[in-house]
Amino acid sequence: MTEPMVKSKVLPTYLVVDTSSSMKPQEQLLNDTVDHVFDVLGNSPRVSEFAHISIVTFNTDTHVVLAMADIDQVSQLPMIRCGGSTNYGRMFQVVKQRIDADIDDLRNLGRAVLRPAVFILTDGAPMDKNWAGDFSALTDKGFRRRPHIISYGFGNANAAVLGKIATKAAYLATEVDNEKEAIVSMLTSLLNTLVTSANSQELRIPDQVDGYTRVPIEYVD
């Protein structure tokens, strides 16, 4: 009798980056650091097998910079460009749409798909006022594919807002000297999270992030 094949697990991971005009001075650093993270992950077969990644940027509009991809199949990353205002609502809409499409694609590949993980990096407060409904739709318990959301804020980011847009953990940069340190520390945290999660075959959130303070979250899944 043939035993049923065990499906390999995959964690759909979304790196969601605020690319409003306030991030413009950090544009090159952001691109270089994201490139470095992908290089490291691509050289770790266990991680690249476990985590597939998409990059979404948001400012006045939202852009899928990198569609959900097997990390070791990404030969070159598109450039991230900064400009415009900080709008949350459209970003939450696009992330929800992409989760639905991406999970279908991964299941069609025969993978056992874990609940998605969304890592949000922002340096400011939202300019749009009606984003809460879009966040609620993304995280509603009636949406079976609702993601785990981890938020990171620096610069003019607001702790209360970071807590409202997170479901697993929220971090505010309070002990860094500049934006460069905040960005590098956040992306290093993402890297370490994926390595740890791949080893345990489930999402593992860090208790601490260098230079950041953990802030209370308002929504608990």
Measure the CA–CA gap between 137 and 92, rounded to whole angstroms: 8
| Residues sharing a CB contact under 8 Å with residue 166, sequence separation 6 or more, in sequence order | 120, 149, 150, 151, 217, 218, 219
**pLDDT on residue 206:** 87
Looking at residues 51-76, what average pLDDT do you find? 94
Indicate the pLDDT class of residue 4, thresholds 50, 70 and 90: low
Measure the CA–CA gap between 102 and 119, rounded to whole angstroms: 16
Global pTM value: 0.94
Q: Does domain 11-215 have CATH number 3.40.50.410?
A: yes
Q: 189-200: per-residue pLDDT in tens?
A: 999 999 999 999
